[in-house]
Amino acid sequence: MRASSISTEDLPLQDEIDAVVTTALDQLKDVQLDALDDWRRSYLGRGGRLNALLRSIGSLPAAERPRAGQAANAARKKLGTALKQREAALSAEGEGDVEQIDVTIPGYRTNVGGLHPITRTLRDIARAFAPLGFRVVDTPEVEWDEYNFEKLNIPPDHPARDMWDTFFVKNEARPGAMLLRTHTSPAQIRVMEQIRPPVRVLAMGRCYRYEDVDATHESIFYQIEGLAIDSGITMSDLRGVLEYFARTMFGRDRKIRIRGSFFPFTEPSCEAEMSCHVCGGEGCRVCSGTGWIEILGAGMVHPDVLRGVGYDPDRYSGFAFGMGAERIAMLRYGIDDIRNFYRNDLRFLRQFN
């Protein structure tokens, strides 16, 4: 029996109306939100299939027209209701989608930068010296010959210039006088020219040398210069400070040795070496077979240098040291080739963050 309350006995068009309704409802099951309007137009719209049937009612005998009209309208109502239900069901599903967030899906990874191992090392060195009263100062990387050499007791033609050959900067006014500093020692002069004792400073930054690059030598590298001037400072203060530093940075187990050396601007002069981290002192490529790696040069500031900046060497004395930041980092992190620091290989650099 048909759902319609209209008697369908022998009703013309009824089969066509039923066929349209059946097809329409069948299709509607699969229609998605964005296609609902097309469906509505093709069955219920002005040029839709039900309207086409309604139009043909006019050709029926007059007595049959009302029943046929009612049947068509009932079909329209049925399809209209089905359309609303489908629409409601699809919207509810859509809302459901919005709430269905899978919180277990891994998020996008944000690239966060990190500190370069040499920056880390410089900061740690500054931190190690801070309790002893050393403050960090900044001095020029592009220097005059007089600060890099002459005021440090290295006159023109002094043989020490050979090991500190560097890159010169063109300067029309003073040809050959401007250069990229070969060490941070010019900072000693710059600081002493500015302040009176007591002095306790650390100057850190890039240095440049015409260098035969190998596992422990770069042509651009960082140094940390320490300078302490006061009345009554002796070589044993220097030794104490260096041992304190070595213990703070490397722990009690690492061995340090201090040997006599020569620098034109210190007297006496020395070098500090640390036991090699790669071979443990046996001798290898990194330590050139000696078992030791040189980390710094140091000494008592030469009386002529003190006099040059207007300090009275009978009243004041002090020590200075200059260490290589990369060498310290190599010893700390167990790195066997200095060139790794500046290859910009992220696989290497990411290990430190």
Nearer to ligand FA5, 24 or 323 (CB): 323
- Position 233 contacts ligand FA5 (CB under 6 A): no
Report the C-alpha gap between 208 and 255 in whole angstroms: 29
Nearer to ligand FA5, 266 or 317 (CB): 266
HSE, side-chain direction, 13 A CA sphere, residue 303: 4
Rounded to the nearest 5°, which phi and psi values hold at 322? Answer: -135, 120
- Position 296 contacts ligand FA5 (CB under 6 A): yes
- Position 297 contacts ligand FA5 (CB under 6 A): yes
Nearer to ligand FA5, 43 or 129 (CB): 129
Among 145, 264, 326, 329, binds ligand FA5 (CB under 6 A): 326
- Position 218 contacts ligand FA5 (CB under 6 A): yes
Is-contact 319 301, C-beta < 8 A? yes
Nearer to ligand FA5, 43 or 208 (CB): 208
328-347 residues in contact with ligand FA5 (CB under 6 A) are 338
CA 73 remoteness from chain centre: 71
Q: Can you say whether residue 283 is alpha, beta or left, with left for phi > 0 and alpha for psi between -120 and 50 degrees?
A: left
Report the C-alpha gap between 144 and 73 in whole angstroms: 102
Least distance in Å: CB of 288 to ligand FA5?
13
- Position 200 contacts ligand FA5 (CB under 6 A): no
Site string for ligand FA5, 152-191 (x = CB under 6 A): -------------------------------x-x------
What residues contact residue 305 under an 8 Å CB cut-off, 6+ apart?
A: 151, 152, 153, 188, 189, 265
HSE, side-chain direction, 13 A CA sphere, residue 201: 22
Q: Which residues bind ligand FA5 (CB under 6 A)?
A: 183, 185, 209, 211, 217-218, 221, 223, 225, 263, 266, 269, 294-299, 320-324, 326-327, 338
